[in-house]
Each structure stands twice: as structure tokens, then as C-alpha cells.
């Protein structure tokens, strides 16, 4: 399933929601690039069956790779993730109620779509995933607009819309039935063309107007190297970046590492910015080879990278200083004793000098 040369790739939906959302952010970026004057609105629908600890239906709406709307089958409520979206929809009091009703309808249809797909692929039970992405991008310099619609099933391309030829592309034999049905529905194609050329760009422009200060915000983080104990992995920790579309990884001799590396989730800070960490296991690395490693942070849409070389003196640790068997901090005791001893020696020398002065 392709739009021009791009492909829609399924994320691992057995991870937590934040990991899924992060992957979708990067996916949306890959689809339309990171041109400074290009804005995007992408809507991601995900339906699943028998996925543990995950809603059967999830909707995520993104503007410029930032989550602005969320709905899932557990809450059954469409709600904003950005304060400026409240202002953007004030002129339409029924907006959120209407969105909730629309998404509940999609929830019911997607549940049926999974059953249809299982029949076509001659499947019964087990874990299955259906995904749909639809959206548009707008270049505020040239005023050019583009639209995308793609579908995936169980991690593989299933169906996509080619707006140039006004036809559907079916890379799977099981999707050909749907392709022919949609190709013959000219009224539906006219609706799609209106959505991609009018409705979607107009709504996107409105959201960019209200959310400009947040949507165009790009904050680079501070990066630190942390280690709990000498045998613990070294954690490269970035905090204070915005938005949450970011990549972080370890390199050796300039090549990205995939082994002995543990990438953490992107987590929110209290001030609205984000943080993330990536750990490196150094148990099999000689100390003299540490400088061959560095940590790389990249914020989506920003060309600048942050490189942090692995050097022992840069590592911050919360390791406690050695204590004696009674739990007393040894340096805390030794230092005063040394000072007292030094003062005693000085006092003794002064005393001797005074005595010698009397007898000479």
C-alpha cells in the first residue's frame, strides 16, 4: 500500500499506547517530510482483536506530528490533548460531541472490518490488527495541498488511494474485491477529492492559526550521562525537548548500535516538555574503548543533532560514598580527624618553638 514512493508500516500494537503514538509520529513525518513550511494533519485509526491490555479501538489525531485529539473504546469520548484546541472549536459548541459520535461509528465499523479481513485471509482467532491513516498536508508558502489514505492489516499494506489516477491500489489479492467496489463508486471518489482539497486543508489551516505557538515550538534538550553503579548500564538522558517526536540512539565508531541497547519511552515533564533515555550495557567494553561510543539525539523537524561522547568524567552518578560497618560515612569522619591532627601538629610545633625560645 503506497502513496507515491512511501509505504505505511504497522507498529507493534502489543506495546503500550505511548510507544504506539511515538511510532505513528515518526510514520507521519516519513510520509510528508520535515519541510519547515509544510503543515500536516494525520488521523490514525487502529482496531485490534485479542490484544492484551490494549483498547479494541484507538483514534489519534495529529497536527504537525503533535497529538491533538484522542479517542478509544474504553473511554468512548473524544477529547483534546492541547489547550488551544478548545479555543479553535469555541465557535462550534457541538464539535466534541459530534466527534465522539463519529468515532463511535468508526469503532463499530472497524470491528466488522476485522471480521471481514479474517474471512478473506481464512483466519479464525488470534491477534489481528486493522489500521487506517487519512490526512493532508499544506505548504503555507506555495499553498500546495496533498492528501493521503492508506490501510494496513496485520502489519502489511492492504489498500491505498492514488489521487492522481483516482483509483485504489491493492497489493494483496484479498483486497482486490474492495478495490473494484471503491473504483466503481464515483460519488465516494468525489467526496474524497473534496475532503483532500477543501475540508482537510481548511481545518488544518484553522488549527495552525490557533496552535501556532505550540505547533512551531522546537526546544532542544539538555543531555546527561547517568550511571547508578560501576556495573550498571550508562544511561544517556535527554530532558526538556519539545515536541515529543524525537530519536535517540548510541553509536560506536559512528555506526548506530542495536545490541546491548535499551531504548526507553518518551515521557512528559511537568512543564509540557518531554524526556527520554537510552541505556548502553558496557559490561563487555574495555574502559579504554569508551570514547569510541557516543549518544545521538535528534528532534524531528530539526537538522541539528546533539552528540555526547562517552567519557568517564562526564558520567553523573548517585553512588554513595563508602561507609564503615556502623553506617558512618568514612570521608565525613576522616576529614575532620585529619584537620584535628594537623592542628595538633601545628600547635605542638608552636609550643616547642616557644619553649626553645625561653631556654636559648
Question: In this structure, what CATH number is given to the domain that contains residue 298?
Answer: 2.60.40.10
pLDDT at residue 125, rounded to an integer:
84
pLDDT at residue 75, rounded to an integer:
95
| Residue 42's CATH number | 3.30.500.10
348 located within any domain: no
pLDDT at residue 215, rounded to an integer:
85
Answering whether pTM is above 0.75, one says no
Q: How many domains does the chain have?
A: 2
Q: Which of 153, 158, 57 is nearest to 111 (CA)?
A: 57
Q: Are residues 118 and 233 in the same domain?
A: no
β-bridge partners, 236:
225, 278
Q: Are residues 159 and 265 in the same domain?
A: no
Burial (Cβ within 10 Å: 0-12, 13-18, ≥19) of residue 119: exposed
Rounded CA-CA distance 162/2 in Å is: 8
pLDDT at residue 319, rounded to an integer:
59
pLDDT at residue 232, rounded to an integer:
93
28 located within any domain: yes
Q: Are residues 63 and 210 in the same domain?
A: yes
| Exposure on the CB side of residue 46, measured as CA atoms within 13 A | 27
Mean pLDDT by 10 residues, the chain (360 residues): 36 39 43 59 95 93 92 96 94 96 96 93 92 95 94 95 95 96 96 96 96 88 94 95 90 95 93 93 93 94 90 82 47 45 45 36
Q: Are residues 236 and 305 in the same domain?
A: yes
pLDDT at residue 245, rounded to an integer:
82
Q: Are residues 170 and 228 in the same domain?
A: no
pLDDT at residue 37, rounded to an integer:
67
pLDDT at residue 243, rounded to an integer:
83
Rounded CA-CA distance 114/227 in Å is: 46
Rounded CA-CA distance 236/224 in Å is: 6
Q: Are residues 6 and 130 in the same domain?
A: yes
Which range marks the domain in which residue 274 is found? 222-317
Amino acid at each position: 500500500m503506497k502513496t507515491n514512493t512511501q509505504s505505511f508500516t504497522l507498529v507493534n500494537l502489543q506495546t503500550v499506547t505511548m510507544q504506539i503514538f511515538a511510532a505513528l509520529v515518526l510514520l507521519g513525518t516519513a510520509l510528508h517530510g520535515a519541510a519547515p513550511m509544510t503543515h500536516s494533519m494525520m488521523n490514525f485509526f487502529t482496531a485490534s482483536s485479542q490484544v492484551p491490555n490494549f483498547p479494541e479501538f484507538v483514534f489519534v489525531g495529529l497536527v504537525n506530528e503533535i497529538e491533538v485529539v484522542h479517542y478509544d473504546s474504553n473511554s468512548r469520548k473524544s477529547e483534546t490533548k492541547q489547550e488551544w484546541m478548545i479555543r479553535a472549536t469555541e465557535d462550534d459548541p457541538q464539535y466534541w460531541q459530534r466527534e465522539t459520535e463519529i468515532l463511535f461509528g468508526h469503532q463499530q465499523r472497524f470491528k466488522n472490518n476485522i471480521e471481514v479481513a479474517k474471512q478473506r485471509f481464512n483466519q479464525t482467532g488470534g491477534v489481528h490488527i486493522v489500521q487506517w491513516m487519512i490526512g493532508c498536508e499544506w505548504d503555507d508558502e506555495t499553498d500546495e495541498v496533498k492528501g493521503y489514505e492508506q490501510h494496513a492489516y496485520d502489519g502489511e499494506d492492504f489498500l491505498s488511494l492514488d489521487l492522481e489516477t483516482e483509483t485504489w491500489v491493492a497489493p494483496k489479492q484479498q483486497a482486490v474485491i474492495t478495490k473494484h467496489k471503491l473504483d466503481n463508486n464515483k460519488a465516494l471518489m468525489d467526496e474524497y477529492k473534496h475532503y483532500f482539497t477543501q475540508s482537510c486543508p481548511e481545518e488544518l489551516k484553522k488549527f495552525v492559526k490557533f496552535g501556532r505557538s505550540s505547533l512551531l515550538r522546537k526546544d532542544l534538550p539538555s543531555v546527561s550521562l547517568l550511571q547508578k553503579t560501576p556495573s550498571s548500564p550508562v544511561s544517556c538522558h535527554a530532558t526538556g525537548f519539545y515536541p515529543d517526536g524525537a530519536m535517540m540512539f548510541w553509536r560506536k565508531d559512528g555506526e548506530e548500535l542495536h545490541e546491548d541497547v535499551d531504548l526507553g519511552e518518551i515521557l512528559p515533564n511537568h512543564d509540557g516538555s518531554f524526556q527520554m533515555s537510552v541505556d548502553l550495557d558496557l559490561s563487555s567494553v574495555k574502559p579504554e574503548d569508551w570514547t569510541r561510543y557516543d549518544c545521538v539525539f535528534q528532534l524531528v523537524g530539526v537538522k541539528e543533532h546533539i552528540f555526547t561522547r562517552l567519557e568517564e568524567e562526564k558520567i553523573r552518578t548517585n553512588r554513595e560514598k563508602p561507609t564503615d560497618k556502623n553506617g558512618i560515612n568514612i570521608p565525613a569522619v576522616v576529614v575532620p580527624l585529619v584537620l584535628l591532627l594537623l592542628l595538633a601538629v601545628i600547635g605542638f610545633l608552636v609550643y616547642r618553638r616557644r619553649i626553645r625560645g625561653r631556654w636559648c
